[in-house]
């Protein structure tokens, strides 16, 4: 089961950016759980717990994020997030 919980100011990577209007979410994914999301310019995705497989639409490579790793984008993208084990994702789509 996936859970989406809006929060603000959870990770250090938020510091340095204004939080007004910035939606920060935590997504809990069970092993093999999937989540589709859009990220805009400056959007960040953090593997808070577990291991994630990130597929970016239109790119020929995938990214594996281990606990603590961050994926940041320099353009608007659509991602598919798959949990390789029970995981927690931090998401700031900007």
pLDDT tens, 61-79?
A: 899 999 999 999 999 999 9
For 26, the token pair is 């935590």
Yes or no: say if 24 and 14 are a contact pair by the CB < 8 Å rule.
yes
Q: Which domain holds residue 50?
A: 3-92
Q: Report the CATH number at residue 80.
A: 2.60.120.10
The model's confidence at residue 82, banded by pLDDT at 50, 70 and 90, is very high
The model's confidence at residue 81, banded by pLDDT at 50, 70 and 90, is very high
- Number of domains making up the chain: 1
Per-residue confidence (pLDDT) for residue 23, from 0 to 100: 64
The answer, yes or no, to whether residue 16 has pLDDT greater than 70, is no
Yes or no: say if 83 and 30 are a contact pair by the CB < 8 Å rule.
yes
The answer, yes or no, to whether residue 24 has pLDDT greater than 70, is yes
Yes or no: say if 29 and 35 are a contact pair by the CB < 8 Å rule.
yes
């Amino acid at each position: 089961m996936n859970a989406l919980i809006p929060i603000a100011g959870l990770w250090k990577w938020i510091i340095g950016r204004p939080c007004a209007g910035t939606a920060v979410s935590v997504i809990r994914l069970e092993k093999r759980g999937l989540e589709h999301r859009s990220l805009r310019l400056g959007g960040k995705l953090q593997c808070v717990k577990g291991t994630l497989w990130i597929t970016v639409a239109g790119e020929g490579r995938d990214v594996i994020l281990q606990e603590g790793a961050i994926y940041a984008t320099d353009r608007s993208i659509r991602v598919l997030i798959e949990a390789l084990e029970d995981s927690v994702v931090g998401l700031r789509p900007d």
